[in-house]
A and B are shown apart, each in its own frame.
With several copies, the nearest count.
Chain A
Amino acid sequence: MSTPTSDANPQPRRQRRSRASRLLHSPVFFPLVGFIAVFIVMALANDNFLLPNNLTNVARQGAIIAIIAVGMSFAIFTGGIDLSVGPVMALSGTIMAGLMAAGWPPTVAVIMGLLLGMVFGAFNGACVAFARMPPIIVTLATMGIARGLGLIYTGGYPISGLPAGFSFFGRGEVVGIQVPILIMLLVYLVAYVVLHHTSFGRYVYAIGGNEEATRLTGIRVPRYKLLVYTISGLTAAIAGLVITSRLMSGQPNAGTGFELDAIAAVVLGGAAIAGGRGAILGTLVGAMLLAILNNGLNLMGVSPYLQDVAKGTIILLAIYIGRGRNA
């Protein structure tokens, strides 16, 4: 370039962002605003909403979807998706129940169930990562497979007769906190640390942001995708543990439509559906937003048909408000 050089670059560019601006740009900001808005509306519309008992209810009711949504978040952050979560949850839960009903000790049964979830997730992951098939169609297919396997295993009947001790995971309390809520918080804590403080977490976002560039950088993308779907299988299985224990019966057809709720939670939580952007705490907020919607509309005695309409409308509004971030 045959141009005069100018050593002076006087522009005061590249200032560092302030704390307030960071908060505003955090992916959790808009979900939180939406959550608080709906929370306030629900509290005003119903006297019983704010009772501590009810808030515990809400958290417990939201826990299942919230736990599943962790795995879904990993999948979505990498630019993928996992539609098989509902049936995998049901399958893992029924296997746990079946093994316990067959006399296996609860701990072993639970471990087997969790392993099964991971194996199923790993299968999804292998199809996506090594066979390079699109996640949406892989998990659509395995969704049917998991559902079928669960029904074959139980012959369609729910499995009951579980040992009393097993109810701990769904109905127990530890230091005054209900176990399902505790499990949920634990899962989120681990997910947070993994996503924000390990290299793997960094790769999850990198793959979602630009898979090709990530691969070129020398990162073994397939390996980490495999891991992501394995995690999704695991969180589905954990949800299966909680729901089976809460129902004290293995339900082969539980979890129908849960994949859509989980996706809604992740997107309400501010994640970009194309991957690369999102926060796990946002997902928690999104899941709780769905839970207060369900609970609040029930408390208000809104007719079931109208609830669908109301829920859909509120989701639309929430996304509309925070939309700049997702477009």
Chain B
Amino acid sequence: MALLALEKVSKRFPGVRALNEVSLQVEAGEIHALLGENGAGKSTLMKILCGIHQPDSGEILIDGTPQHFSSYRRACAAGVGIVFQEFSLIPGLSVVDNIFLGREPRNRLGLIRHGVMLKQANALFERLDIDIDPQIHVHHLSVADQQFVEIAKALSLNARVLVLDEPTAPLTPTEVERLFTIMRQLREQGVAMVFISHHMEEIFEICDRVTVLRDGEYVTTLEVADTDAGALVELMVGRRVDNIFPDHHSHADSDDIVLEARIRMAGRKHTDYIQLARGEILGFAGLVGSGRTEMALAMIGAQPVTERQMQLEGHKVTLKSPADALKRGIGLLPENRKQQGLILPFTCADNITLNHLKHFQTRPPFISRRREREAVEALMDRVRVKAPGSDTVVGTLSGGNQQKVVIARWLERGCRVLIFDEPTRGIDVGAKSEIYALMKTLTAQGISIVMISSELPEITGLCDRVLVFNHGHVVAALSGDEIEAGTIMTHATRQISLDNPTGSTDESVATLERAS
């Protein structure tokens, strides 16, 4: 008998049938992959398992006993733990406080035993090989560190059933390995795990069986050993997807420099130099926290810096805010769509047109609703947003579809330079290949793209040139055959002197200029 069984679970949301009679069995000591496109219903199924949503019909069985989880608390009590897809940490509390939130050890007077909590947290971190100060406030942590705190929090429950909803999305390969080590330990201990990821290779590395969902329907369950990535993708999307990367045909015109930037971040000793050619895709590679996002924000003036000299098509420009950047045709897709990308209470349409409302002012300052709607529907078709309508509130879409809405915003904006920060984080294979194709189409139109990504295949498969970040500085500029995973990782992890990241600054700038 399976440790965990979900029987014919159905769930409707207003306007969406998220799940239709989906079943799933997970054995003790099994890592079970849950696979499906964006919006297939994976997170919804897991939230039902954890008592966060109530199913319209169907049953949850643990050890064959039917369970009714009216809240996550109940599910926890029954031994179910989850690492949420969206962060559930409290930014203003310390790491320990977050881990033990709701389960603080107390003394006889009802006061918290800080010492005990700290000791347990340290022990936990040691076991997981996590190096984070447990007393630091969570909002000081990088996304990856927050993810590890999230994982530590779920593990501290000593759950028998552990759900991991896209835990690897913000992690680097090293960190993913660390997580897998932990997961293997748990498998030894007989924990039943559900693992959700859009990375095929992860599924083949760690999972025992895989269940595929499509549009809220159960498709099949397979032994991982008996299948391959192509077959799984076909099951997910209902057709074959041969190569997710578009033809490696470069549209870059390396003689036509669109953007040159000399930026010195606040508190840094050196100035970094970035050069971008027309039609080029320039990758920013590096470990999590290596300063790529910071550089992107600095490039659009969203962040104060010590020094910023920018030249756009040979003309000096001063960018004091993202609005200045937009005016000059530089746009950013931020890495955190919920906090930085979307107006969640807005509809898809209002989100998409937000920064180019001027295009729809037939008689300024009035907006023509009709023109706006037509344009939006065309854009939504182009990026294939799966939503009931253009007036659907964006907060109710699945993560991947939300990301597509953010992308759609920039398509008709007429930008010369677009910075994509982790554009495919949490996005399914089908959508990924669509986004890659879109990027190629954009470069063919002469638009230059900076792509920040923590996924090396993406970098190597797509970029014309790559800048490697390490400790907040550009430490290498790679092009052509140099763009290769091993080389990138060597530069990204190289031990460098903080005072002098690239030997000599002048020299490094010179090297980079020659390289580009």
Contacts and interface: CB of A to CB of B under 8 A. Distances in A.
Q: Do chains A and B touch in the complex (CB under 8 A)?
A: yes
Interface of A: 1-17, 193, 197-200, 202-203, 205-206, 208-210, 212-220, 272, 276-277
Which among A10, A210, A219 has the highest number of chain B CB atoms within 10 Å? Answer: A210
Contacts of B345: 205, 209, 272, 276-277
A216 B91 contact: no
B63 interface: no
Nearest to A8: B493
B489 A3 contact: yes
Which among A7, A193, A202, A206 has the highest number of chain B CB atoms within 10 Å? Answer: A202
Contacts of A200: 365
B73 interface: yes
For the complex of A and B, the 4 pairs showing the least CB-CB separation, nearest first, are: A218-B326, A218-B73, A209-B343, A199-B357
B177 A197 contact: no
Given A1-B199, A200-B365, A276-B92, A13 B388 contact: yes
Contacts of B334: 213, 216
Contact of A16 (B239, B241, B391): B391
Which among B92, B104, B238, B434 has the highest number of chain A CB atoms within 10 Å? Answer: B92
A197 B366 contact: yes
Main secondary structure on A side of the interface with B: loop
Contacts of B437: 1, 3
A2 B131 contact: no
A272 B341 CA distance: 21
B173 A198 contact: no
B377 interface: yes
Nearest to A220: B323
Given A199-B357, A202-B101, A10 B489 contact: no
Contacts of B240: 2
Interface string B175-190: 0110000000000000
Contacts of B485: 2-4
23 contacts: A1-B176, A1-B246, A2-B241, A3-B430, A4-B173, A6-B174, A8-B239, A9-B384, A10-B494, A197-B111, A198-B366, A202-B350, A205-B343, A206-B97, A209-B345, A212-B339, A214-B101, A217-B341, A218-B327, A219-B322, A219-B355, A220-B321, A276-B346
Given A214-B354, A217-B72, A5 B173 contact: yes
Contact of A213 (B341, B457, B489, B494): B341
Interface string B331-372: 110100001111111100010001101100100011100000
A185 B191 CA distance: 51
B354 A217 contact: yes
Given A16-B389, A214-B343, A217-B355, A202 B434 contact: no
A6 B385 CA distance: 11
B471 A1 contact: no
B106 A2 contact: no
A205 B331 contact: no
Contacts of A216: 52, 72, 84, 88, 300, 302, 322, 332, 334, 340-341
B456 interface: yes
Which among B111, B237, B327 has the highest number of chain A CB atoms within 10 Å? Answer: B111
A14 B390 contact: yes
Given A13-B289, A202-B104, A210-B342, A215 B322 contact: yes
A298 to B, nearest CB: 38
B389 A202 contact: no
A153 B289 CA distance: 57
Contact of A6 (B52, B168, B339, B384): B384
A14 B386 CA distance: 10
Contacts of B481: none
Given A4-B434, A209-B93, 10 more contacts: A8-B239, A10-B215, A13-B289, A14-B380, A14-B390, A15-B133, A15-B388, A197-B367, A199-B104, A220-B321
B343 A1 contact: no
A218 B71 contact: yes
B67 to A, nearest CB: 15
A1 B358 CA distance: 35
Which among A12, A200, A203, A208 has the highest number of chain B CB atoms within 10 Å? Answer: A203
B381 interface: yes
A206 B456 contact: no
A217 B84 CA distance: 10
A199 B433 contact: no
A202 B391 contact: no
B389 A3 contact: no
Nearest to B168: A1
A3 B485 CA distance: 6
Given A1-B199, A8-B493, A14-B132, A276 B389 contact: no
Given A15-B389, A199-B365, A4 B237 contact: yes
A199 B52 contact: no
B402 to A, nearest CB: 11
B291 to A, nearest CB: 11
B7 interface: no
Interface string B372-399: 0000010011001011111100000000
A157 to B, nearest CB: 44
Contact of B367 (A10, A16, A198): A198
B434 A3 contact: yes
Contacts of A17: 133, 136, 389, 391
